Structure 1
């Protein structure tokens, strides 16, 4: 007996869990999300939304709200840089600019229709919560996932309301664990993690104080402070401040009383006697860990439950949101009967290699920029371009149709433990290869190609590609799918997508290219059946006997 049935249960209502709820609801799935805390986070934690993640939020009409809530970086020069100093009021050691913040003041860039949004997590989560509810998601804060079991048909979960202790049994088609780096869901599945592990212990101290005099008109993303009393990072959302103070476990170091927190803030500010109001404190680890897999059976992991990044580079939360976006459309298609269950296997094949590479890149940046004495002798990987890490990765899975000569072969998953330079696109000179993010091209109409993409698959074809568009539309109808089609005559589009005027490109609901034909097919080509093969391949649909069908 079950108290209720839901298509998808989400455990964890932080940034990634809420994003999963938004994306699922956007695709017509009504998820149930449970979060053990009674409200969204009061801590900034993730400080910025990168351009790729902003593209995803833009697609669900969240960009205006995020822009309205984002932190305004105003002030003197170096407003987007990082200051390293003895203390905020003390001696400056150095300034350095942060390449990944390029475009932080802009709403668009040459590679994206949108730009960085310096919107901290405590401001972003309420926006996601409101949008998820608006789209129909069922969000229950103060409710905890106590246990779960899965079988071939679904997941049986026990939920507890924390205030009353009341328990309910829920039957879900699928469970998504977005429950943080300690992830009870991951532990229940017995999935181990590997990687560098804990690098630094930090205590996030949220406070209010008037630091106008210490700032001296300067503006920055963060201020790294180091003196005999404190080592940490100061940041602000414009209203409150947060000090992430490093500590070493054991003894008095872990006793963060209010008096000690005030003393640490004063030391970081370099202002003895500063009036400080402590709003909260939260321990966290600067760590690097990656789960060995992204789930088992009908249970999936996303965000910090799947991997933990050092914060340098701002990849952690953004990578988790991109997990959610990748998984949501696949769950929606399978639940609606539009795809076979095998489509869900492409989630791990695509996101696990990306996650491993991104964690390695975050570690490399952390070691290079912070040169922290608490971290031992670690050999870092070469640092790749930030845009490449954000949006240049390429998927190789069954949900992508390889081109002739591609190394992973028809229908095969690329080894999820392997990634090589060939798996990356130059975002500034995109190739349009299957498995890459659909490039942003501003058309003559002033519209971005990314804004042509919707909830479902989209076929983009050249000026002479109407035969492909017509055949694809017929094939989609035969599979019960909605397909948007657009004919584009602009030459820059054809170059960015690597096709001729008679070519066509199929873009998945997550904005990644599933298939392309680079030029008009040879005479006699059965375009409709070709496209049926593409859909069946990507969506893990059974091949039908088309010899008895009439083309329509």
Structure 2
């Protein structure tokens, strides 16, 4: 069936993004930052979020927003409402005894492994900041607009969109479409992509209310407060005053009973009041402003790509709120997609580069849903933990937030480093497939993102050099590689060796004692180098060996090797195309 009649006007756009909540809007902003500002993002709702969902942002996510220039604004907004040292607590009731803490201080120990912190900031507070930034940089956001239908062919996607206020329809022709349309994704459903994972855990409920709970939280609890008693299992998310927040209810009633798993089903105001009283544990005046039932699940789509259509965010994977992994994982999806689509649209990468999206992100999403499932059981439903329950061991938050790893042909590794999806970022070595682990670094020929010249200041986080293209970090004595990078960019006076390739930012490490940590962490010598992708993941590393200065033969070899590596990573070499096709076939078969 054709998705539209011939009399409907046609709008051309390189990328059509369905859903302009946090994930879709982040993708819009990232593409605009990379010069792809004529994409179209549609959202069926008339505005950004009006309820305080998705409160916890992870340090990796904050690195992404740091690249976008939003980090300081987000911190400022967050600290108006939340303490930067807020934690995750457990109580019988808000007024009752403490059961301990899951995380005393959400930022304790992060300085050693990340240039950015965790912070609490609700979508209601954050999305207006993101929307303003995206529009300012040229993104096209269209609210009160829904997707009606779509088809795809070998060259792109044809969709019909409708203005929900006027009813006017328009046909859109896009080279790619990214579905960020939530857990009930129309796009995923029409494509017939099934979900797999742990299935329905409960029909949960969020109770939004007004009350003064300050006497229970000030100087005692701040952030997320898990409640576990015979009547209610769930959590409060409260600001530092105890006057703003909500209660998320996972189970209520007799612990372990079938009925307890359905607090959101057929909910009434009176029953919601009973639940809220049981969670507070004291006689407090309150006003319920909204009841929002939802399904608690930990599932992932069988695959994240169908031809020229990609799934991201809740359309690709759904988790319970435990640990805040849903929104963060979706934002990281967008970050993985943006640089790949941008290079393909600029004809600097083969379209098969985009096929590596699912190869890289699916194993990470699978790990996230399994780990959130563990947290759901341990924190809210321990009665479900039986001998025959398949549940992996819980790993620490930093491993999931800063230690997840990729394998695909957009790297120089075909297997996950150490055979694992995650590792401990505090001790793990940087290698192809890992995130560019945090170190302080001094380099020449560069300025940090804060505008500080590293040669005239203290070392800066390596993240300051990343996020805006390929980066070649060369040891202080890696002269052949420095020349190779400059030659690739056409800066050597002999012409550009890779005319059809994106430029590589070349940085030479200075001979400073502080840089020894970089050499140790990245497993190279002062004669070696590291190639890092635009999304901050290590693509390739050369340990390096001592060579004589001025050896043009070695420089020629380095030039040829670097250009070959870039073509492989961008799927422009025959081996790259072959591997990318293999990746895509595995995704379609659900093997990844």
Matched residue, 1:162: 164
Matched residue, 1:494: 519
**Superposed counterparts of 1:59-78, under 5 Å:** 59-71=67-79, 72-74=81-83
Matched residue, 2:214: 212
**Alignment partner of 1:255 out of 266, 271, 276:** 266
Is 1:196 equivalent to 2:198 in the alignment? yes
Is 1:535 equivalent to 2:566 in the alignment? yes
Matched residue, 1:482: 503
**Superposed counterparts of 1:441-480, under 5 Å:** 441-444=439-442, 445-476=458-489, 477=496, 478=498, 479-480=500-501
Gaps of 5+ in 1: 403-407, 409-413, 545-552
Matched residue, 1:395: 406
Matched residue, 2:130: 128
Q: Find the aligned partners of 1:112 and 1:250 in 2 and give their Cα distance.
A: 38
SS of 1:88's equivalent in the other structure is coil
Matched residue, 1:550: none
Q: Find the aligned partners of 1:332 and 1:313 in 2 and give their Cα distance.
A: 31
* Maintained 8 Å contact 1:183/1:305: yes
Q: State the Cα deviation string for residues 245-274 of structure 1 (Å, max 9, x = none).
A: 2355999963334444344333322343x3
Matched residue, 1:411: none
Residue 121 of structure 1, CA deviation: 2.3
Matched residue, 1:307: 317
Query: Which moves more between the two structures, 370-379 or 485-494?
Result: 370-379
* Maintained 8 Å contact 1:364/1:380: yes
Query: Which moves more between the two structures, 519-528 or 115-124?
Result: 519-528
Q: Find the aligned partners of 1:241 and 1:183 in 2 and give their Cα distance.
A: 27
Matched residue, 2:446: none
Q: State the Cα deviation string for residues 500-520 of structure 1 (Å, max 9, x = none).
A: 101111110000011111104
Query: Which moves more between the two structures, 464-473 or 156-165?
Result: 464-473
* Maintained 8 Å contact 2:333/2:361: yes
For these two proteins, the number of residue pairs brought into alignment is 523
Q: State the Cα deviation string for residues 206-232 of structure 1 (Å, max 9, x = none).
A: 121112234464223222334565443
SS of 2:379's equivalent in the other structure is helix
Matched residue, 1:7: 14
Structure 1 length-normalised TM:
0.88
* Maintained 8 Å contact 2:162/2:169: yes
SS of 2:310's equivalent in the other structure is strand
Matched residue, 2:185: 183
* Maintained 8 Å contact 1:36/1:142: yes
Query: Which moves more between the two structures, 431-440 or 238-247?
Result: 238-247
Q: Find the aligned partners of 2:20 and 2:432 in 1 and give their Cα distance.
A: 33
Structure 2 length-normalised TM:
0.83
Q: Find the aligned partners of 2:186 and 2:541 in 1 and give their Cα distance.
A: 41
* Maintained 8 Å contact 1:233/1:243: yes
SS of 1:515's equivalent in the other structure is strand
Are the structure 2 counterparts of residues 69 and 301 from structure 1 closer, same or farther at C-alpha, using a change threshold of 3 Å? same
Are the structure 2 counterparts of residues 294 and 506 from structure 1 closer, same or farther at C-alpha, using a change threshold of 3 Å? same
Residue 120 of structure 1, CA deviation: 2.0
Are the structure 2 counterparts of residues 210 and 423 from structure 1 closer, same or farther at C-alpha, using a change threshold of 3 Å? closer
Q: State the Cα deviation string for residues 458-495 of structure 1 (Å, max 9, x = none).
A: 11000012321221232244234222111013221111
Is 1:109 equivalent to 2:111 in the alignment? yes
* Maintained 8 Å contact 2:54/2:324: yes
Q: Find the aligned partners of 1:420 and 1:431 in 2 and give their Cα distance.
A: 11
Are the structure 2 counterparts of residues 462 and 193 from structure 1 closer, same or farther at C-alpha, using a change threshold of 3 Å? same
Matched residue, 1:26: 33
* Maintained 8 Å contact 1:536/1:542: yes
Residue 79 of structure 1, CA deviation: 4.6
**Alignment partner of 2:359 out of 349, 358, 380:** 349
**Superposed counterparts of 1:331-342, under 5 Å:** 331-342=341-352
Gaps of 5+ in 2: 1-5, 252-258, 443-457, 490-495, 576-592
Matched residue, 2:543: 518
SS of 1:181's equivalent in the other structure is coil
SS of 2:135's equivalent in the other structure is helix
Is 1:380 equivalent to 2:391 in the alignment? yes
Are the structure 2 counterparts of residues 209 and 438 from structure 1 closer, same or farther at C-alpha, using a change threshold of 3 Å? same
Q: Find the aligned partners of 1:344 and 1:521 in 2 and give their Cα distance.
A: 38
Q: Find the aligned partners of 1:252 and 1:462 in 2 and give their Cα distance.
A: 59
SS of 1:5's equivalent in the other structure is strand
SS of 2:235's equivalent in the other structure is strand
**Alignment partner of 2:292 out of 277, 282, 285:** 282
Q: Find the aligned partners of 2:420 and 2:362 in 1 and give their Cα distance.
A: 17
Matched residue, 2:50: 42
SS of 2:57's equivalent in the other structure is coil
Matched residue, 1:97: 102
